[in-house]
Amino acid sequence: MNLGEVLEKLHLGTKEKFLKLIDWFKSVESPVLVAFSGGVDSSVVLTVASLALGRSSVVAVTATSPIHHEEDVLWAKRVAELLGVTHILVESRELKDPNFISNPPNRCYFCKKSLAEELSKVAERFGAKTVVDGTNASDLSGYRPGLLAFVEAGVRSPLAEVGITKDEAREIARALSLPNWDRPSMSCLATRIPYGVPIDVEKLKRVAEAEKIVKALTGVSVVRVRDHGYIARIEVGRDERKKLFNDSTMDRVAEELRKLGYKYVTLDLHGYRSGSLDELLPKEPTHGNRHIKNLNH
């Protein structure tokens, strides 16, 4: 990978941050362990870590669990193989934690705390001195209690620390010719279940299957099926809503989702927005990003 060619593809502001990111990795102790979801952000982190330190000094760790889409793991394997880095799969244990299963508003805190424990075990095994994730600067403006658990565990977020936003991370991924640079953002399947409703494997499987069906029947790139018991509330990208405005398509989607156990199949007219279930939370939740405004160490 020619660094000069990568830099030529970046806008000036992004180029400066990209160079800062390389320097960031050169300033920390190696080996570096990357919490690697297979998404755009963590792929950028993994790639730049490999460029700065050499692939032998980087270990990618991907969590497998019913809360994750199967395609996440497939993408993680593909990118890690492309980069030639050591790639470890670990089974995360959030579904054994009653704090997570009860699905409180700070559910993600318990999930990330569990994952951080698994990352620590792998870091010790490989002698990794630094553990990082793919949190970007844009993530700090939303409600993400899971970030607090990572901060408490000493996991660092290089993209956020150098100020790289979600759009800039995607720009960098494209410049690096990563195959997933335009892949839509994904989130764990637990985010489809309203707070206070217990999480179980069957609900997660139903949501995953429902989203697969909606994608296959409509061709949308972004879809969330929020599981409200007997009601499936479908969110798709605002510019893709028209793909469902067809009698036969709506009939097929309703028919297939009813086979999964939903009695009512609805389309959210507002379209997809990240964390739509958070809209029912108080303006200033008890557990949130106010604890981690400064990620610089």
Confidence band of 70 (pLDDT split at 50, 70, 90): very high
Our separate counts of H helices and E strands in the chain read: 11, 7
29 has pLDDT over 90: yes
Q: What percent of the chain has pLDDT over 90?
A: 92
- Give me the chain's average pLDDT, please: 94
Tokens of residue 139, six digits? 């993530």
165 has pLDDT over 70: yes
For position 286, what pLDDT does the model report? 43
Rounded to whole angstroms, what are the CA distances from 213 to 112, 159, 253, 256, 260? 29, 34, 7, 7, 10
Model pLDDT for residues 228-279, shown as the tens digit of each residue: 999 999 999 999 999 999 999 999 999 999 999 999 999 999 999 999 999 9
Using DSSP's 3-state secondary structure scheme, residue 233 falls into: strand
289 has pLDDT over 70: no
C-alpha span between 33 and 23 (Å, rounded): 17
149 has pLDDT over 50: yes
Strand partners of residue 264: 231
21 has pLDDT over 50: yes
C-alpha span between 148 and 287 (Å, rounded): 8
For position 282, what pLDDT does the model report? 84
CA dihedral sign of residues 128, 138, 69, 260: positive
Residue 172 makes CB contacts below 8 A (sequence gap 6+) with: 10, 14, 18, 44, 48, 164
Instruction: Give the chain's domains with CATH numbers.
Output: 3-186 (3.40.50.620), 189-280 (3.30.70.2210)
The overall longest dimension of the chain from CA atoms, in Å, is: 58
- Model pTM score: 0.94
**Residue position matching structure tokens 């018991």:** 229
Element (H, E) at 259: helix 247-259
- Structure letter (DSSP) for residue 227: E
For position 1, what pLDDT does the model report? 73
For position 288, what pLDDT does the model report? 44
214 has pLDDT over 60: yes
Question: Of 95, 187, 105, 110, whose CA–CA distance to 150 is shortest?
Answer: 110
Question: Of 33, 28, 31, whose CA–CA distance to 119 is shortest?
Answer: 33
Model pLDDT for residues 86-126, shown as the tens digit of each residue: 999 999 999 999 999 999 999 999 999 999 999 999 999 99
